Amino acid sequence: MGYVLSAVARVLELPTAWGAAWEMALLAGPLWAAALLGLLLGWAWRPRWAAGLVVATADGGSAAAAAQAPAQPPFATLDFWKAQLPARLRAPLGYAGAAVQQREDDEDAVQGSSEMANEELAVGKDDLVNLWRLVDGRDGGPAWIKMMEKSLPTMTYQAWRRDAQTGPPQYQSSSIFENATPEEVRDFFGDDEFRMSNKWDDMLIYHKTLEECQTTGTMKVHWVRKFPFFCSDREYIIARRIWKLGGAYYCVTKGIPCSSIPRRNKPRRVDLYYSSWCIRAVESKRGNGGLTACEVLLFHHEDMGIPYEIAKLGIRQGMWGCVKKIEPGLRAYQEARAAGEPASRSALMARINTKVGDNFVRSLESNSDESEIVEAEEKPARNHVARFLVLGGAVALACTLDQGLLTKALIFGVARKFVGQRKTL
């Protein structure tokens, strides 16, 4: 402290104002840099009890909000201090313990629940109709905008996006795998055990089958997926079912409510989730005239709790990096089946399909609503660096406040307004 005071005194003794200002800048620069570094470290290493205080403040600081917050363990326990570490550092130190706790919670939720065949099905005919219209381009939604087209020696990939009037952005993709049958691809995407063991989907870090129906093949599944370091992991309660229509498989997967599994602050539950496929045989790109390839038409959207514009940017940048892992995963799956390895429980459930007759299709063809597919327009790339800095800072700050929508809206509103002003310069 004495050193700082003496430095300030020397600055004030300078003969000119410019000299004093220059010395003050040299003195304040390291202090501001240290403060900024401390702020960034504070965001990354904030303890859970501090996040609870932020949530209470964002909710109005009421006593009722504080009373609803979960009780924190004593400061002296080892588990408490482990819990303060970032999720990426907690994982090597004992994520298995969290997984065990998650499995115990799931077992408690499953106990006493009746089989899904005796209940109203979570995925029904309306879901099949909706997926069929999406595949046939008759859902009446906005036009699809082409995002990318990539290829590997035995795989081709195309992706489109559209913005709905309400809700998150929607994505459509077409993946064509050479030398694969629809049955192999159906089992591959439905095999949660192989999805984790092979790590072709490295975001999935936990799965548990909660309920299943041996008659329709409908499953109720609990997933936990890993998200980037600045966001907490996400939790999904999903239902899925497969129909066979002609030679194609229509696989509907969507988020459903589940009161038997309590919500937690982390991982954060995703309620709005839709990810459905149409898997069918197509002609090979090699031009041999045979239906030796398999196409997967995917329709996906979800509300991850991240502002839509930021989510669109992240998905566009990371989409191909995730998709290209599917092809080697599928080949490994084919080799495992050829070697005689037994199918997992979830893969066996994927083989229980509901067959649909041709009358179903004829009853739907009367609706002529269609969705167009258009090419994406290239936008000017000026001021990208400044825009990314502003939006990146907003991401870090908003993801720190895990709850409190008003606070997030304010942060991103200011950031987007600033970016809009720079675009007009």
What tens digit of pLDDT does each residue of 359-370 get? 777 777 665 555
- On whether residue 381 sits in a domain, the answer given is no
Cα gap 181→282, rounded to integer Å: 10
380-414 tens-digit pLDDT: 334 444 454 545 555 555 554 444 444 444 444 54
Element (H, E) at 310: helix 308-323
For residue 47, the model assigns a pLDDT of 52
Enter the pTM of the model: 0.64
**Which residues lie across from 236 on neighbouring strands?**
223
Lowest mean pLDDT among 60-64, 219-223, 271-275: 60-64
For residue 52, the model assigns a pLDDT of 46
321-361 tens-digit pLDDT: 999 999 999 999 999 999 999 999 999 999 999 999 877 77
- On whether residue 283 sits in a domain, the answer given is yes
For residue 313, the model assigns a pLDDT of 87
122 three-state secondary structure: coil
Q: Which of 176, 181, 183, 185 is nearest to 284 (CA)?
A: 176
For residue 181, the model assigns a pLDDT of 96
- Angle, CA of 293, 298 and 303, to the nearest 5°: 160
Lowest mean pLDDT among 148-157, 241-250, 368-377: 368-377
Q: What share of the chain is helix, strand, coil (3-state, %, to 5)?
A: 45, 20, 35
- On whether residue 168 sits in a domain, the answer given is yes
Q: Domain range spanning residue 314? A: 144-360
**Cα torsion angle, 214, 216, 222, 223, sign:** positive
- On whether residue 271 sits in a domain, the answer given is yes
Summary mean pLDDT of the chain: 75
56, 410 contact by CB (below 8 A):
no
With cut-offs at 50, 70 and 90, classify the pLDDT of residue 272.
Answer: very high
- On whether residue 253 sits in a domain, the answer given is yes
For residue 42, the model assigns a pLDDT of 65
- Output 90-98 pairs: Cβ under 8 A, ≥24 positions apart: 95/205
- On whether residue 422 sits in a domain, the answer given is no
Segment of 42-46, 113-117, 174-178 carrying the highest mean pLDDT: 174-178
- On whether residue 63 sits in a domain, the answer given is no
List of residues 6+ apart from 291 with CB closer than 8 A: 281, 282, 283, 284
Q: How many domains does the chain have?
A: 1
For residue 245, the model assigns a pLDDT of 92
Amino acid letter for position 367: N
Lowest mean pLDDT among 48-62, 203-217, 301-315, 367-381: 48-62
Q: Which of 25, 27, 23, 22 is nearest to 3 (CA)?
A: 27
- On whether residue 64 sits in a domain, the answer given is no
The CATH number given to whatever domain includes residue 198 is: 3.30.530.20
Cα gap 418→392, rounded to integer Å: 13
